[in-house]
Amino acid sequence: MPADAPTPAPKRARILALANQKGGVGKTTTTINLGTALAATGKRVLIVDNDPQGNASTGLGIGRTERGVGTYELLFGETTVAAAVRGTSIPKLFVVTASADLSGAELELVELERREFRLRDALSSAGADYDYILIDCPPALGLLTLNALAAADSVLVPLQCEFYALEGLSQLIRTIERVKRTFNPSLEIQGVVLTMFDRRNNLSDMVAADVRGFFGEKVYETVIPRNVRVSEAPSHGKPVLLYDLKSAGAQAYIHLAGEVLKRERNRQSVHG
Ligand SMILES: Nc1ncnc2c1ncn2[C@@H]1O[C@H](COP(=O)(O)OP(=O)(O)OP(=O)(O)O)[C@@H](O)[C@H]1O
Ligand SMILES: [Mg+2]
């Protein structure tokens, strides 16, 4: 590079929050497997386990007893991402685990200054080290999820293909709108991903059509099928891409990563 060339702007990670206050819809599964698929394309990816259940940490092979400092300490300014981050069995995929104390954080945060911005502040120092930061949220719209939404550039909403899929979504959308108005004006919805699709079940088709009617193009074309390999993988501490790359679930997450990257490229070409 010539000496007078402008220094390139430091790269800033794109931060995606995986959120839906409904439990068991595939937030953690999508965080782990989308993260793995993005890392497989060469991106540096950080997963932040922001759920006291710690399922993302377990699913990445880091059991409860092996976790040191993690998201709790990040939120309370007691550590940095650089100090808390752990490697995983996947090259370029890193994790900040949910520490045991995280279950108390929701209440303890209430007392703090800048209580919605704790995660955003903590992640600001890590922006140059990663291409993507994925935040796995708990099934609630409390302060942990608000911290994720305040830190994020965009939200990815996993929706399970079941009868009640759309129930409670208006509450999630109202929360996203409120966060946009109050503390994160540029927050957008990256997309909605249909999970646990069962093609033998007509209901899955009906729900998928309903969700597409409601969210239009926000819904990714990729649909994650219900697949037993996906549900087995976490008990081996592995993403399904590592556990059984050929499985329909692993392949679907690879496609999803392609779509997420495509949306990011389109966004860049619009916003420069
Ligand atoms: N495509 C799939 N096929 C089969 N099982 C799946 C699939 N996706 C997720 N599961 C299983 O469904 C359960 C719920 O998934 P997951 O933990 O990802 O949901 P969640 O939204 O993170 O839940 P919570 O709200 O409790 O955090 C898990 O047991 C997971 O292994
Ligand atoms: Mg989860």
d(CA 70, CA 48): 9
In sign, the C-alpha dihedral spanning 65, 66, 68, 74 is negative
Predicted pLDDT of residue 8? 63
Q: Residue 78, SS3? A: coil
CB of 46 closer than 8 Å to CB of 90: no
Residue 76 pLDDT class (50, 70, 90 cuts)? very high
The CB of 52 under 6 Å from ligand 1? The reply is no
Phi, psi torsion values for 194, nearest 5 degrees: -80, 125
Residue 25 CA, ligand 1 centroid: distance in Å: 6
pLDDT value at position 178?
96
2: confidence class by pLDDT, cuts 50, 70, 90? low
- Longest distance between any two alpha carbons in the chain, whole Å: 63
Q: Please work out whether the CB of residue 139 comes within 6 Å of at least one atom of ligand 1.
A: yes
Instruction: Give the per-residue pLDDT at 162.
Output: 87
Q: Distances from the Cα of 193 to the Cαs of 44, 106, 109, 156, in angstroms?
A: 22, 27, 30, 7
pLDDT in tens, 170-221: 899 999 999 999 999 999 999 999 999 998 888 889 999 999 999 999 999 9
Share of the chain above pLDDT 90, in %: 83
Q: What is the DSSP letter of 266?
A: H
84 forms beta bridges with none
Task: Say if ligand 1 is within 6 A of residue 247 CB.
Answer: no
Average pLDDT, the chain: 94
Query: Does 195 sit in the ligand 1 pocket, CB within 6 Å?
Result: yes
* pLDDT at residue number 164: 83
pLDDT value for 10 = 63
pLDDT for the residue 100? 84
Q: By three-state DSSP, how is residue 180 classified?
A: helix
Of the listed ligands, the closest to the CA of 32 is 1
In sequence order, what E strands does the chain have? 14-18, 45-49, 86-87, 93-96, 132-136, 154-160, 188-197, 219-225
How many Å lie between the centroid of ligand 2 and the Cα of residue 140?
Answer: 11
Ligand 1, from 20, 28, 198: best to mutate by most atoms within 8 Å of Cβ? 28
pLDDT for res 268: 84
Q: Return the best residue to mutate from 226, 231, 238 for the ligand 1 pocket (most ligand atoms within 8 A of CB).
A: 231
| Domains assigned to the chain | 14-190 (3.40.50.300)
What value does the mean pLDDT take over residues 215-242? 97
Calculate mean pLDDT across residues 7-14: 76
Cα 173 to Cα 176: distance, rounded to the nearest angstrom: 5
CB 17 within 8 A of CB 152: yes
Tens digit of pLDDT for each residue in 20-59? 999 999 999 999 999 999 999 999 999 999 999 999 999 9
Structure tokens, 236: 């081996």
Q: Does residue 244 line the site of ligand 1, with CB under 6 A?
A: no
Helix count (H) and strand count (E) of the chain? Answer: 12, 8
Q: Is 152 helix (H, G, I), strand (E, B) or coil?
A: coil
Q: Does residue 119 carry a pLDDT above 70?
A: yes
pLDDT tens for 127-177 read 889 999 999 999 999 999 999 999 999 999 999 988 888 888 889 999 999
Contact 47, 60 (CB under 8 A): yes
Is the pLDDT at 1 greater than 60? The verdict is no
Per-residue confidence (pLDDT) for residue 5, from 0 to 100: 66
Residue 272: per-residue pLDDT: 59
Exposure string of 162-200, with b = 16+ CB inside 10 Å and e = fewer, is beebeeebeebeebbeebeeeebeebeebbbbbbbbeee
Name the residue at shortest CA distance from atom 9 of ligand 1. Answer: 26
Q: Which residues pair with 192 in a beta bridge?
A: 157, 219
User: What pLDDT is attached to residue 9?
Assistant: 61
Instruction: Give the model's pLDDT for residue 11.
Output: 74
- What pLDDT score does 7 carry? 66
The two three-digit tokens of residue 75, written as one number: 């939120």
Asked if residue 120 lies in contact with residue 126, where contact means CB atoms within 8 angstroms, the answer is no
Distance of alpha carbon 265 from alpha carbon 237, whole angstroms: 32
Residue that is written with structure tokens 């939404």 in the block: 149
